[in-house]
Structure 1
């Protein structure tokens, strides 16, 4: 069975997290619950964050596992969390968290498209105004991010 990389089940509207660690765990848990990764992958996401920040600018963070986490990935997938209140990401405000698990190099194309789409803060702010997971899917597909 092949999983789509992004579905409505992977999107959390009005997410809440008190910390960067909590936000990463939530993004990872969505990937676990939807069958993309094993639970150990979430710890590898936290490990990656300790090595180097996944904050990308423009209110965006893209947490993902370390290189040795590939064994914990069942299928490529992304989780999208939209926060009403900013999460402190080592001194930076983050309101959009995109968790990524990539099998092989499948995720690189998706990551590239997301990076291009979110390279403008106005696009991220537009995305944060969206009210439903279906609209989020449309936003990414119209921007060719899925």
Structure 2
């Protein structure tokens, strides 16, 4: 049976980071710990960030691996980390929610577009950041699952 794309185990609320690298590593670590990706995928997420920022606007970043990282993905999955105090993603971009993505094949493209639609509404992002339970996050992102 395939794993859920987003489960409670993949969500962490109210985390604090001192750097963008630390935030991305943490987001990738959740995917690794829960069996979605190989450990090396985390390095590919950092590599991807070097190429182009995964900051999407509206206090959202969507860290994911480079194109060649696909073979390191075991299952399509998401990790969600809220950072109410924000973490600096450079160029004055403050991130309060990170959604890590690991996609088998092209599955992540569909997920990305769904997240982009949900998070294009500032109030949705604010609700995600303010969520006090993992269930709230699941409810807000249920369209993705």
Q: TM-score range by the shorter chain?
A: over 0.9
Q: Is the 8 A contact 1:117 1:145 kept in 2?
A: no
1:1-146 equivalences under 5 Å are 1-90=1-90, 91-141=92-142, 144-146=143-145
Q: Is the 8 A contact 2:10 2:79 kept in 1?
A: yes
Q: Is the 8 A contact 1:10 1:78 kept in 2?
A: yes
Which stretch shows the higher mean deviation, 56-65 or 119-128?
119-128
Q: Is the 8 A contact 1:96 1:128 kept in 2?
A: yes
1:61-115 superposed Cα distances (whole Å, 9 cap, x missing partner): 0000000101111010010000121100012110000000000111221111110
Aligned mates of 1:145, 1:117 — CA distance in 2: 9
Q: Unaligned 5+ residue runs, structure 1?
A: none
- Structure 1 stretches of 4+ with a deviation exceeding 3 A read none
> SS at the partner of 1:113?
helix
The alpha carbon displacement at 1:134 in A equals: 1.0
Q: Unaligned 5+ residue runs, structure 2?
A: none
> Number of paired residues?
144
Instruction: Give me the TM-score of the superposition, normalised by structure 2.
Output: 0.96
